[in-house]
Structure 1
């Protein structure tokens, strides 16, 4: 009985299979530019602040790097700044010596708000630092600075099969 059931639907089975294979081939044939956004050009004033930050982060200290970048923001609360420095220093003591950085992403919300996220390469594990800059008038200022060591966890989580397209 089962054999005749399959035999009756055999042509339909092959048609559906052919459509699935053709659909997958067409999806793979699309150029990468159709699925990813074009890279954003570096913002001159922002890049200068970031370059200075990393030079100090590598050669001087976390405190010097964080304090100097936040000199651009007159409204920063010194208590929160101290807390950020302590958080970064405590994580750095665990993850080892700083070895370099890689740009993860750069986003531009407008001509006045940009975000740069970097992978920090340390001896024991990667970390991530994200800078958000705001230009209310003529000069760029640091608006937010995030530091975390969960970038590998997020990458692993992104590879999970969720059942959603």
Structure 2
């Protein structure tokens, strides 16, 4: 089964998060409590331009809300990586396991004067090939 990929990229300004990890933690806390709409609103709170694309935000909320029916309940939420591009950009990847299968969540933040601002959030289930490639690279190192 393939889950529809959802992403929201933004050019931004406005309120920012002082600590991107706190924003991701808050997202998953709300998401785990089945407060999907609040979780999405929370992760995009640092970006005032989200209000200009309400249809995309609504689509993400709808897709996340339907995950429960497609893949079951959440079992574990695990941070996989925190990849920094210099001191100004970060890409954070999580793997969330459900009853049926895992889903990858990715968050991107960039640094502004006041802290960090969300740039993108996405989720998908296309992790098979990525994991195989990483496993093969790790095997070659050994």
Residue 61 (str. 1) matches residue 28 (str. 2): no
Greater strand proportion = 2
Residue 93 (str. 1) matches residue 69 (str. 2): yes
Greater helix proportion = 1
Residue 48 (str. 1) matches residue 22 (str. 2): yes
Correspondence for 1:24: none
Residue 146 (str. 1) matches residue 122 (str. 2): yes
Identify unmatched segments of 5+ residues in structure 1: 1-43, 161-165
Alignment counterpart, residue 73 of structure 1, candidates 47, 57, 74: 47
Q: Deviations over 1:36-57 (max 9, x none)?
A: xxxxxxxx70111111111101
Aligned residues: 118
TM-score (norm 2): 0.74
Structure 1 residue 138 displacement after superposition: 1.5
Correspondence for 2:4: none
User: What is the Cα-based RMSD across aligned positions, in Å?
Assistant: 2.0
Identify unmatched segments of 5+ residues in structure 2: 1-17, 137-142
TM-score (norm 1): 0.64
Higher relative contact order (CA 8 A, sep 6+): 2
TM superposition outliers: structure 1 runs of 4+ over 3 Å: 156-160
Correspondence for 2:6: none
